[in-house]
Structure 1
Amino acid sequence: MTMRDAIAAFVHDGDTVAIEGFTHLIPTAAGHEIIRQGRRNLTVVRMTADIVVDQMLAGGCVARLVSSFVGNSSAGSLGELRRRIEHALPEPLEFEEYSHYGMVCRYLAGAQRLPFYPLRSYAGSDLVAVNDGIRTVTSPYPGPDGRQERIHVVPPVNPDVTIVHAQRADRAGNTQIWGLTGVQAEAVFAARRAVVVVEEVVDDEVVRSDPNRTVIPAHAVDAVVACPRGAHPSFAQGYYDRDNAFYRAWSHISKDPERLREWMERWVHGTRNHAEYVALLGEEHWAGLAVGEALSLPVDYGRRL
């Protein structure tokens, strides 16, 4: 599908939308299309709420954020997010916070259709006091000392739609990722619908020749969108590098509401699609993000004679 058609079909006002990708392969272009289509009152689930979340907030799309980290990826702050949480400007943001592993467990519970998921790492944490989604239960099994332990649990998350970015997929949706991976597979299986955005759609034979790179299988995917350079300013291993200058600039852009509004008008509302965004950046900019070749050695999977 095109990005426009995929977002129109699978993202609706009031939905819970998971947007995943850890440092690498962040589906920024999908976030921009959600803004262009004027979606409202979304609950956004993203472990590492970063620039794309700040932009979706500035676009008026997000009413509630569920996350385990907020920040501009070691390059500064998120101005729009801070204004909403710290000062309720221009309106408040409902924020539900977990640890990274707490979010992983929520996706695992959602993917496995479990009622909750146990974890030990909240012992002594202040998060328990500020998030009533973190509960304690009594283990039905006695421990080595004969006592039944009390342990923290988190609820499942089952998004209406999960959106992830990846390097490549075939037309059926068998999706391959290499380099940094996060919880893309778990987030996809937890969701009712899934949109996979890729740098390129490849022939079936390419995927079959290297099956172990298939992180997300076709039966879990509802739409495949080809969107080259769609993870910018994050990177896609083997395709383009991280745009560190953009990350550094974003703190200054988002700190000033007027400057942020002007940026959104030019780069998101002023472009019809991601191809226009890419063209607006210019080939010289992309040349600076080019990566060299680092081939993986071939593997002999073997076959019957």
Structure 2
Amino acid sequence: MTRRRSKVVTPADAAGLVTNGSTVALGGWTFYNTPMTVVREVIRSGARDLRLVSSPGAIGPDLLIAAGRLAEIATPFLTMEQFGFAPAFRSAAREGTLKIAEIDGPGLASALRAAADDLPFGVIHDLGTDLPSVNPEWYRPFEHPLAEGAKLYAVPAAVPDVALIHAQRGDEYGNLQFLGATFFDQLIARAARTVIASVDEIVPGEELRADPRATKIPGFLVDAVVPASEGAKPCGSQGLYPPDLEHLAEYSRLAATEAGRREYLERHVLATAGKV
């Protein structure tokens, strides 16, 4: 019987799957479950002109902006929570150096669901926001005989070339267990062409099978698994460790200026090359 192939790779090998101009989906939610080990390695890889489709995020997407890796971003919001605005995002928006697609949660979910179902677009109700006026490429008026009188929008499918997600546990074949919420990660994994998952712990398959309800993403959706103890830090990993609030406060302070962003990148990204 043919043995299944292990999908375990190094952070550098995983980052090598992200090439210039790729559309990248980033999972997690603000200070939780962001695959920061892989994000830092993507920055070190030098990949540029990336188009990011992000869950509501914090330091993960903001750090990619600070490092000059993004050409475009589509996200419901970026925030450093109690520490204020996402500083690199705010600077890029003010200076016009980043193309920004303003979307909401239903729009993101519909776009990912359409991609997951191999459909050209998804459909959402008009929720009364002004997003269609600022992002007409994403929110397109839609009429259908089966929905007579309903005000709807068609949202184009978002098909990421590569997805970056983080789970608490997984086996070498890519079966992933979450000890808390999955946020948009299940949709992201279904929508993307290639899925990279960092995990805090690699465990034997029989250990996962002892608690099958916790396996939220099956291995056939995952292409690469990166073992990374505390791989979400300075973000938290639900059920295992909390966000490092001191570090996040430091980032918020430094990333408010161009010089501070360079200092942070040198100290916490470039100087830590080779570390998981």
TM-score range, shorter chain: over 0.9
State the superposition RMSD in angstroms: 1.4
Q: Aligned pair 1:138/2:143, yes or no? A: yes
Q: 1:42 aligns with which of 50, 55, 62?
A: 50
**Separation (CA, whole Å) in 2 of partners of 1:235 and 1:52:** 12
Largest Rg, 1 or 2 = 1
Identity %: 33
Task: Give the TM-score normalised by structure 1.
Answer: 0.84
**How far apart are 1:255 and its partner, in Å?**
0.8
Note the residue ranges of structure 1 that are not aligned, 5 or more in a row: 276-305
Give 1:29-178 correspondences, 5 Å limit.
29-88=37-96, 92-120=97-125, 122-132=126-136, 133-141=138-146, 147-178=148-179
Amino acid at match of 1:97: E
Q: How many residues align?
A: 266
Aligned to 1:300: none
Amino acid at match of 1:247: L
The answer to whether the 8 A contact 1:196-1:221 is kept is yes
Aligned to 1:299: none
Q: Aligned pair 1:13/2:20, yes or no? A: yes
Amino acid at match of 2:229: P
The answer to whether the 8 A contact 2:55-2:76 is kept is yes
CA offsets 1:167-190 (integer angstroms, 9 cap, x no match): 011111111112122011110110
CA offsets 1:49-71 (integer angstroms, 9 cap, x no match): 32111211121211100111022
3-state secondary structure, aligned to 1:233? coil
**How far apart are 1:150 and its partner, in Å?**
3.5
Aligned to 2:6: none
**Separation (CA, whole Å) in 2 of partners of 1:71 and 1:212:** 31
Amino acid at match of 1:7: A
**How far apart are 1:148 and its partner, in Å?**
4.4
The answer to whether the 8 A contact 2:14-2:38 is kept is no
Give 1:20-31 correspondences, 5 Å limit.
20-23=27-30, 24-31=32-39
Moved over 4 A (4+): none
Q: Aligned pair 1:253/2:258, yes or no? A: no
Amino acid at match of 1:175: L
Note the residue ranges of structure 2 that are not aligned, 5 or more in a row: 1-8
> Which of 43-52 and 215-224 deviates more?
43-52
